[in-house]
Every structure is written in C-alpha cells, then in structure tokens.
Amino acid sequence: MLRRLPLVVGLSTLLPWNLYCQPPKDSPAFEVASVKVAVPDTLPATVHGRGRFSGGPGTGEPGQFAALGVSLKYLIRYAYNFEDFQYQVESWMEDRTYDVVAKVPAGATPEKLRHMLQRLLNERFRMEVAHQPKSLTTYELLVAKGGPKLTPSRFDKDTPASTEHPTLKRDAEGIPMLPADSGPMWQSGIYGRQVVLLTNRDSLPYLADILSRNLKAPVVDRTGLEGLFEYRLHYELEGLPSPPGGSAPAPTMFTALEDQLGLKLEQHKQSVDVFVVTKADKIPTPD
C-alpha cells in the first residue's frame, strides 16, 4: 500500500545547498595537496573545463585524488555537489583550468572528500562568496489526478545493491527492462531517441533529483509518498529533429511522468538564494 506523509513546505527544503557555502570550521584537510595552473592542450577539447576526476573514497585508489584540466567552476561544482542553477561564477572561472592532486587520509568518506576540497579551494584561491536572490523556475513533483502508478520495491534499504551488469531485454517498443530476478539496481541511458530510467528500488526524492538535472531547475518531491519503488520511465530526448517517416514522437518528460508513473510536475516561479563566487585568485597560492 502506498502511504502519504505530511508535507513540509519551506525554502530550506527546496534549497538546502545554501547551508554549505562555506566549509565547516572543523573541516578535514588533505594530508598533502598540489594545486597548479593546468598545462594547456593536455586534454581533448571535448572535456575542456570539465577535465578528469579520479581516485578518492569509493574508488580503486582511495588514498589519492586527482582533478586534471578542471576549471574552477567545475572544481566548485564537484566540491559543493552543485547543479548549474545553484551557483554563479565569473566567466574566467569557466575557462582557466587547473590540476589538483591530493593525498586523502585513510578512512575518508566521499562527503569528507568534498569538505576537504571546499577547504582547499577557499584557502588556495582565496575565494569570496555571497548569497544573491535570483528568480528561478522551480517544479513540484506531485501525484497526478488518477493516482500513482508505482509498485513498491521488494527490497528494503539495507539489501546490498546488485553488482551485476546484465544484458537488458527490450519490450516491443524497444525500451529496455530490468531482469525480474535481479537484485537492487538502478540504470539510466539513452536508447534511440529516448531517455530511459530503470529501477527496482528508488525513492521519489531521488527521482526528483534526477528530474532536476534533466530540467536544469529545482524539483522537489511533494507527493507525500513514503518508501522505495520500482518503475520504468522513458521520454523523448530534447533537441532532436522530428522522427523520419512521420512516425509518432516519444512522450515528453511531463507526459511520461503522468502516463507511466501517475505523477506530474507543477511549475512555479520563486525567488531563491544562489551561491555566487564574487572573487577568487586566478593563480592559486604556491604549494
């Protein structure tokens, strides 16, 4: 049975990132860190600014973290776990790239790594930040008129996620399906002209986060539905030309949510605080 929870409405629910504009006073630090201006043309143009991240907690090299050829904009994005609409930087912060190599203390978690990087960026680039109000398009994820079309997951939150990478079978429309006998799994991808999200254990706040990335705007779960669910969501990849031969296009994200999951997105305009980097050094302090 699907259960509804009381709705808690507030700006802090919509914009929790404004609590993390400065690293905690007791923030951990890397054991050793090198921050240098990147050597130009060492990475393909396709990754310019985004660079390459490697190592750190949860990887095969937990004690070594590297961000090579990464702009200050994307270092900030990684350190604070921001989406593009959550922060603003000066134009040069998108173009100038840097190499960061650091030794990570034993036992560090991914969250601790982000705090270490926040502290490093503030110290080495002497960043100054501020909150500024900005009018944003926001969305609420709600239950549609006909009610939810969600199946409760057969897995609880403590069941270990599957480590398998099965070959996915497709239905008559060519949309992939998760194996019926698989363990907890979440997969996404682009198949033909469609974005496909597949899961047999997921919460609706997490779905709202995924939709937020697609829409490049805040999405908050206001369904009031508790628990973990399994679902398959597929919709048209935006920006593609009309399909050849007059064939029917795939549904939009908005239509797919209502038809496939019994949910809907409601749009609003809201003034919110945005993290703004008002000043930073172009040359980091020496190692």
Q: Are residues 45 and 110 in the same domain?
A: yes
According to DSSP, the residues that pair with 99 across neighbouring strands are 36
Question: Could you tell me where the beta strands, DSSP code E, fall in the chain?
Answer: 3-4, 32-37, 52-55, 64-71, 87-88, 97-103, 128-143, 151-152, 169-170, 176-177, 186-191, 194-202, 219-221, 225-226, 229-236, 263-279
Q: How far, in Å, CA of 119 to CA of 30, rounded?
A: 9
Question: Does any domain span residue 276?
Answer: no
Q: Are residues 29 and 129 in the same domain?
A: yes
Of 198, 170, 195, the residue nearest 182 (C-alpha): 198
Question: Does any domain span residue 109?
Answer: yes
Handedness of CA 109, 100, 94, 119 (dihedral sign): positive
State the residue range of the domain holding 172.
148-261
Classify burial at 64, counting beta carbons within 10 Å of its beta carbon; exposed 0-12, middle 13-18, buried 19 or more: middle
Question: Does any domain span residue 142?
Answer: no
Question: Does any domain span residue 8?
Answer: no
Tokens of 141: 């994820």
Instruction: Tell which of 134, 166, 190 closes a domain.
Output: 134
Q: How far is CA 225 from CA 3, 105, 240, in A?
A: 5, 39, 34
Q: Are residues 124 and 21 in the same domain?
A: yes
Q: Are residues 45 and 122 in the same domain?
A: yes
Of 176, 186, 177, the residue nearest 153 (C-alpha): 186
Instruction: Tell which of 112, 134, 156 closes a domain.
Output: 134
| pLDDT of the residue at 21 | 52
Q: Are residues 90 and 152 in the same domain?
A: no
Q: Are residues 84 and 163 in the same domain?
A: no
Q: Are residues 128 and 159 in the same domain?
A: no
Q: Are residues 128 and 156 in the same domain?
A: no
Question: Does any domain span residue 237?
Answer: yes
Q: Are residues 74 and 167 in the same domain?
A: no
| pLDDT of the residue at 273 | 84
Handedness of CA 74, 75, 77, 78 (dihedral sign): positive
Question: Does any domain span residue 5?
Answer: no
Contact partners, residue 145, CB within 8 Å, separation at least 6: none
**Other CB atoms within 10 A of residue 23 CB:** 21
pLDDT tens, position by position, for the chain (287 residues)? 343 333 333 333 344 443 445 555 667 899 999 999 997 655 554 454 678 899 999 889 999 999 999 999 999 999 998 888 889 999 999 989 999 999 999 999 999 999 999 999 999 999 998 888 889 899 999 999 999 999 999 999 999 888 888 888 998 888 899 998 899 999 988 888 889 999 999 999 999 999 998 898 889 999 999 999 999 999 998 766 666 655 567 899 999 999 999 999 999 998 888 899 999 999 999 98
Classify burial at 163, counting beta carbons within 10 Å of its beta carbon; exposed 0-12, middle 13-18, buried 19 or more: exposed
Handedness of CA 215, 217, 223, 229 (dihedral sign): positive
According to DSSP, the residues that pair with 265 across neighbouring strands are 141
Q: Are 277 and 91 in contact (CB under 8 A)?
A: no
Q: Are residues 116 and 162 in the same domain?
A: no
Q: Are residues 44 and 84 in the same domain?
A: yes
| pLDDT of the residue at 154 | 95
Q: Are residues 168 and 250 in the same domain?
A: yes
Q: Are 147 and 138 in contact (CB under 8 A)?
A: no
| pLDDT of the residue at 42 | 54
Question: Does any domain span residue 282?
Answer: no
Instruction: Tell which of 134, 164, 183 closes a domain.
Output: 134
DSSP class of residue 260 equals I
Number of domains in the chain: 2
Question: Does any domain span residue 157?
Answer: yes
Q: Kindly list the strands in the beta sheet with 263-279, ordered across the sheet, starting from the edge strand earlier in the chain.
A: 87-88, 263-279, 128-143, 219-221
| pLDDT of the residue at 213 | 86
